[in-house]
Structure 1
Amino acid sequence: MTGEAMTWVQALVLGLVQGLTEFLPVSSSGHLRIVSAVFFGDDAGASFTAVTQLGTEAAVLVYFAKDIVRIIAAWFRGIADKAKRGLDYRIGWYVIIATIPVGVLGFAFKDQIRTGARNLWLVSTMLIVFALVIAAAEYYGRKARPIEQLTTRDGLIMGFAQCLSLIPGVSRSGATSSAGLFVGLERAAAVRFSFLLAIPAVTASGLFSLPDAFEPAGEGLNASGPQLLVATIVAFVVGYASVAWLLQFVSKHSLNWFVGYRIVLGLVVMGLLAGGVVSAT
């Protein structure tokens, strides 16, 4: 069955939602699923979500351009000369190694991610469950180790945590940042590495989903090429501002500020589902 055509208002709103929520520990994919269901009566789809994430990842690339260029250059220098293997060289390897789990699982379960995982009962449950995980990470995490003390073990733990974000409602930044806190990293260090870690996984996911997004088939809201482009640009602009804001915020405040919001949103969605206001699928 062919889905309903997406309107320009829907594309702009969803691009704005993507940009606002991608970097906050509240789940951008969960918010896109909820907003499209509550306000538009349908699902924008996993492919739309993945493609618009290219906009927010482009924002990360621009914001961290100097860091990324420095890390890549250091990685190549370290490959050629053991004497030049410093922190940036190690971070380059940590990002590569930590990306492997989400790449493997994302490919293996791509069909389930696009279908059953988008059930709103599951999304709302994950919003609440991982709110408690974030709260536990803030409570139990020592937050004592700077990014200079990042290890391969830390990278792998955060990489496996990133796999949980394949389920809408979990939050990529929430899962990886919480894992960083659990292993004792400073909050700013955990969030910073979380952003770097997301770049290859989200970029690959978005590019992989391009064919499905531009040639949609099946139920849900179907965006045109121009709508996808504009939504992605909106996500980029808003996402860039969100990156800058969050890095400033976590340097002075706890991630617990987002815990209450996640729980309230999860409960509201459950109430709407129980009352038959929105459909779970």
Structure 2
Amino acid sequence: MDLWQIIVLAIIQGLTEFLPISSSAHLILPSALLGWQDQGLAFDVAVHVGSLCAVLSYFRRDVFRMGNAWVRDTARRTVTEDSRLAWAVILGTIPAGLAGLVLNDFVEDELRSGWVIAATTIGFGLLLWWSDAAGSRRRQLSSVTLRDALLIGLAQALALIPGTSRSGITITAALFLGLRREDAARFSFWLSIPLITAAGGLKTLELIEQGGATDWYAIAWGTLLSFISALLCIHLFLRFLERIGLMPYVIYRLALGALLILVLW
């Protein structure tokens, strides 16, 4: 890959990993419009590492607090708010993890088409709008139960379908459960940590098995740019979410889905 391709794909990954707008829809457009070849497994690992470092860096205090409480309270067989939230993140990760193990090959073979991505980009965009309009938006993170976590985790499993958007579907589920926008987004970001870690680990194992030469230049730039764009994305998204709401992302998804249909027609 040349530097321009590295920059575009790394920034796309960093931004779309956490915005509710579908990373797969954005990654299909450059190849369709510009004729770019697949970026390769090593680059996928690099941009996932960058995104993971960004979310860990931004939520480092939350991660440390919940992790410390989980270890302490598990040993003592007690439950506090922080350890309960840690259990909620763990429970919310399980459905997507299991679905990935069972259905990954089917999704890769049968659902990774431009038409599927266009349909899900539009369909789940409308669902995001409905959840924002219908949800009470009164509950805080401290009220999240294990049942809530399981329901959001089941919704997260739908993100295996290309075009769904992992952050979009988890925010949608959390809003339907009555969480405030910022709290829904924050819990969605927390859920991304174990999932990105697992996905990156699996891709790393695949990369080791494949062997071959590695383009360290592309990996270094991909990791750095993905980290910067993801960190900036998380900060700005949370800062302006309550002010602008989710309608701009809904409109964007509808426009993107329409553009995909035009490109594929």
Same fold (TM over 0.5): yes
Match of 1:77 in 2: 72
Q: Does 1:31 align with 2:26?
A: yes
Any residues of structure 2 matched to 1:41-52 within 5 Å, and which?
41-44=36-39, 48-49=43-44, 51-52=46-47
Cα distance in 2 between the residues matched to 1:152 and 1:174: 20
User: How big is the shift at 1:215?
Assistant: 6.8
Cα distance in 1 between the residues matched to 2:217 and 2:136: 47
Match of 1:99 in 2: 93
Q: Does 1:260 align with 2:260?
A: no
Cα distance in 1 between the residues matched to 2:210 and 2:57: 30
Residue identity over aligned pairs, in percent, reads 37
Choose 253-262 or 107-116, whichever is displaced more: 107-116
Contact 1:214 1:224 in 2 (8 A): no
**What secondary structure sits across from 1:142 in the alignment?**
coil
Structure (1 or 2) with the greater helix fraction: 2
Unaligned stretches of 5+ residues in structure 2: none
Q: Does 1:185 align with 2:176?
A: no
When the two chains are superposed, the root-mean-square deviation of aligned CA atoms in Å is 2.1
The one-letter code matched in structure 1 to 2:203 is: S
Contact 2:46 2:222 in 1 (8 A): no
Match of 1:210 among 204, 209, 213: 204
The one-letter code matched in structure 1 to 2:35 is: F
The Cα offsets for residues 201-256 of structure 1, whole Å up to 9 and x where unpaired, read as: 11110111124356769xxxx98343133212210111101110011111322111
**What secondary structure sits across from 2:139 in the alignment?**
coil
Match of 1:57 in 2: 52
User: How big is the shift at 1:26?
Assistant: 0.2
Match of 1:242 in 2: 233
Match of 2:217 among 213, 226, 251: 226
Match of 2:146 in 1: 152
The one-letter code matched in structure 2 to 1:250 is: L
The one-letter code matched in structure 1 to 2:200 is: G
Contact 1:48 1:223 in 2 (8 A): no
Cα distance in 2 between the residues matched to 1:113 and 1:192: 28
- Number of corresponding residues: 264
Unaligned stretches of 5+ residues in structure 1: 1-5, 275-281
User: How big is the shift at 1:188?
Assistant: 0.9
The Cα offsets for residues 131-156 of structure 1, whole Å up to 9 and x where unpaired, read as: 11101101111111011111111101
The Cα offsets for residues 75-106 of structure 1, whole Å up to 9 and x where unpaired, read as: 111112245x2111001101111111111111
Contact 2:47 2:223 in 1 (8 A): yes
Cα distance in 2 between the residues matched to 1:41 and 1:10: 8
Cα distance in 2 between the residues matched to 1:126 and 1:41: 23
